Amino acid sequence: MKGKFLFSAGFGLLWLGVSMYFSIFWAQEAAQALPELYVWWAIIGIALLPGFLMSAMFFSNLIHWRLKKYPSTAQATTVLMCAYNEQETIAQAIQAILDQEYLGAIRLLVIDNGSTDNTKQEILRMQQKAKENRMVEYLFCAKPGKANALNCGLAQVHTPFFLTVDADTFLEKRPSKKLWTTS
């Protein structure tokens, strides 16, 4: 741990040295119009010290970075999608959820928060497109506000995992890991 700290601090000092080299010309030019002490105080406070600290933190984070490993799961998941007058985008957002290559069951709970357009009809139309292991449910929340809609939806979550997305969000389809065989 001490070695990693010294390594990142060393890179910070290297950055400070390069910055100091370039700031000398800047300071000489600025010192013609302002007192030299003030110029160096400003350069150190505005550029050199923050630059050193940020570069040391950057290298420290780079040294300690590890790819998070999440457990492989195929457990049922609920997706909460709050909608208010989203007739233009809701079908695409629902289709993006239905197209996910997640191995577990996905229960999409779309909470209509008092829409006055054709959002409900779009949701019901998309219910018919749900495939095996995918379910689209419609829930109406009369109390205005996204927080209220989320609370209505959260009361209906019975799966070990859940997430929320906006009705104008299109989740990227991630390819699942496949085992390739050669014959």
171 close to 97: Cβ distance less than 8 angstroms: yes
Q: For residue 64, is pLDDT > 70?
A: yes
Tokens standing for 133?
A: 């292991």
Q: How far, in Å, CA of 142 to CA of 127, rounded?
A: 21
- Give me the mean pLDDT over the 138-154 stretch: 95
Top mean pLDDT of 13-17, 68-72, 156-160 is at 156-160
CB 176 within 8 A of CB 101: yes
- Give, as one character, the DSSP assignment of residue 159: S
Residue 107 scores a pLDDT above 60? yes
Residue 143 has pLDDT above 90, yes or no: yes
Owning domain of residue 8: 2-64
What residue spans of the chain are helical by DSSP H? Answer: 2-30, 36-43, 49-64, 90-98, 119-127, 146-154
The answer to whether residue 72 sits within a structural domain is no
How sure is the predictor about 175, in pLDDT bands with cuts at 50, 70 and 90?
low
- Range from 2-16, 122-136, 166-180 carrying the lowest mean pLDDT: 166-180
pLDDT of residue 142: 92
Q: How many domains does the chain have?
A: 2
Distance CA 47, CA 45 (A): 6
Residue 178 pLDDT exceeds 50: no
What integer pLDDT is reported at residue 71 of this predicted model?
74
- With respect to residue 124, please indicate whether it lies within any of the assigned structural domains: yes
Give mean pLDDT, residues 135-164: 94
Predicted confidence at residue 163, as pLDDT, reads 93
Look at residues 16, 37, 64 and tell me which one is the last residue of a structural domain. Answer: 64
For 182, list phi and psi in degrees, rounded to 5.
-115, 145
Residue at 44 is within a domain: yes
